[in-house]
């Protein structure tokens, strides 16, 4: 059972480039989340989804977009990369629907923008 | 608003020492409380949780009790090991809706042999 899989693990981008961070889960979870982790700042929620076709903004959504066309996948897109988006990005999923189950996290994508 | 405050790190202990990492929260309603652990180069893993007042979560020798009167969820372990070296995050989840987590800033623990 793979759990939550994120790709790539590392990436370096130039300012202005775009890229998509991939996230897939095989646990049939309804809810999925994207966080960014900056040093000494904990995790901040970027976007989340409570089911296929439904997405909503979190605490720090500016500069990012998401889609949720299937239950399994929840890609995060950076359209115009900026140095402020240098961070470690974590995807998470949970069963949701008031199941009282915890979130499961992927191993993260370390992104540097130069 | 909803927030979590953890003690500042880093924390450095010798093996077999007693560990306490303080966590207090501010929330509307009745949140569930969690401790997550992050080992170097890895994602977050759930360590323990408590869903209502006076619940005690425990796992791998770690414990935390949900104290509604003091809005706290302090993490404790009686005897730490080198393998416990990691970053520990306290988090709350509000009831209902999207089940979003609100995290503290994390506390880095280093245990020396």
Q: Could you report the per-residue pLDDT of A56-80, keeping only the tens digit for each? A: 999 999 999 999 999 999 999 998 9
Q: Are A103 and A79 in contact (CB under 8 A)?
A: no
CA contacts within 13 A on the Cβ side of A25 = 27
The residue of chain A nearest to residue B90, with distances taken between CA atoms, is A42
Chain B residue numbers with beta carbons less than 8 Å from the beta carbon of A94 are 99
pLDDT of amino acid A98: 63
What's the rounded mean pLDDT across residues B27-54? 90
The residue of chain A nearest to residue B2, with distances taken between CA atoms, is A59
Distance from B58 to chain A by nearest Cα, in Å?
Answer: 15
Of B44, B51, B105, the CB nearest to A105: B44
Residue A72's contacts (CB-CB under 8 Å, 6 or more residues apart) are A24, A25, A26
Average pLDDT, chain B: 92
Task: Decide which of A39 and A90 is more confident.
Answer: A90
Query: Beta partners for B15?
Result: none
pLDDT of amino acid A90: 95
Distance from B70 to chain A by nearest Cα, in Å?
Answer: 23
Q: How confident is the model at residue A101 (pLDDT cuts 50, 70, 90)?
A: confident
E strands in chain B: 3-6, 11-14, 19-21, 23-26, 32-38, 44-50, 56-59, 62-65, 75-77, 86-93, 101-103, 107-112
Of B49, B51, B98, the CB nearest to A31: B98
pLDDT of amino acid B97: 65
Q: Are B108 and B7 in contact (CB under 8 A)?
A: no
Does the distance separating the beta carbons of B100 and A33 come in below 8 Å?
Answer: yes
Distance from A14 to chain B by nearest Cα, in Å?
Answer: 24
> Which tokens sit at A87?
């961070």
Does the distance separating the beta carbons of B106 and A4 come in below 8 Å?
Answer: no
Query: Beta partners for A57?
Result: A47
> Among candidates B77, B4, B85, B3, which has minimal Cα distance to B37?
B85
Distance, CA of B2 to CA of B92 (rounded, Å): 8
Q: What percent of chain B has pLDDT over 90?
A: 77
Q: Are B89 and B36 in contact (CB under 8 A)?
A: yes
pLDDT of amino acid A1: 63
pLDDT of amino acid A83: 95
Secondary structure of residue B84 in the 3-state scheme: helix
The residue of chain B nearest to residue A110, with distances taken between CA atoms, is B41
pLDDT of amino acid A13: 95
Does the distance separating the beta carbons of A105 and B101 come in below 8 Å?
Answer: no
Residue of B32, B101, B105 for testing the chain A interface, max A β-carbons within 10 Å: B101
Q: How confident is the model at residue B24 (pLDDT cuts 50, 70, 90)?
A: very high
Does the distance separating the beta carbons of B43 and A107 come in below 8 Å?
Answer: yes
Distance, CA of B15 to CA of B82 (rounded, Å): 6
Please count the residues of chain A.
114
Residue A2 has pLDDT above 80, yes or no: no
pLDDT of amino acid A97: 63
Per the rule left: phi > 0, alpha: psi between -120 and 50, beta: everything else, A29 is beta
Q: Does B1 touch chain A (CB under 8 A)?
A: no
Q: How confident is the model at residue A99 (pLDDT cuts 50, 70, 90)?
A: low
E strands in A1-114: 4-7, 10-13, 19-25, 31-37, 43-51, 54-57, 64-66, 76-78, 87-94, 104-105, 109-113
What's the rounded mean pLDDT across residues A90-96? 91
């Amino acid at each position: 059972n793979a759990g939550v899989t994120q790709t790539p693990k590392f990436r370096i981008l130039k300012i202005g480039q775009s890229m998509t961070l991939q996230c897939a889960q095989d646990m049939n979870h309804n809810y999925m989340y994207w966080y960014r982790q900056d040093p000494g700042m904990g995790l901040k929620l970027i976007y989340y989804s409570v089911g296929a076709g439904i997405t909503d903004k979190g605490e720090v959504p500016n500069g990012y977009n998401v889609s949720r066309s299937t239950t399994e996948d929840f890609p995060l897109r950076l359209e115009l990369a900026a140095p402020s988006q240098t961070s470690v990005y974590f995807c998470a999923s949970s069963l949701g629907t008031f199941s009282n189950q915890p979130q499961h996290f992927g191993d993260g994508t370390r992104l540097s923008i130069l | 608003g909803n927030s979590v405050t953890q003690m500042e790190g880093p924390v450095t202990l010798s093996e077999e020492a007693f560990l306490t990492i303080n966590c207090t929260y501010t929330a509307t309603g009745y949140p569930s409380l969690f401790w997550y652990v992050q080992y170097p180069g890895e994602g977050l893993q759930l360590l323990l949780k408590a869903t209502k007042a006076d619940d005690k979560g425990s796992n791998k020798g770690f414990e935390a009790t949900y104290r509604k009167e003091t809005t706290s969820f302090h993490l404790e372990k009686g005897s730490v090991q080198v393998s416990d070296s990691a970053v520990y995050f306290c988090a709350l989840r509000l009831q209902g809706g999207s089940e979003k987590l609100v995290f503290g800033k994390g506390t880095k623990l280093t245990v020396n042999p």
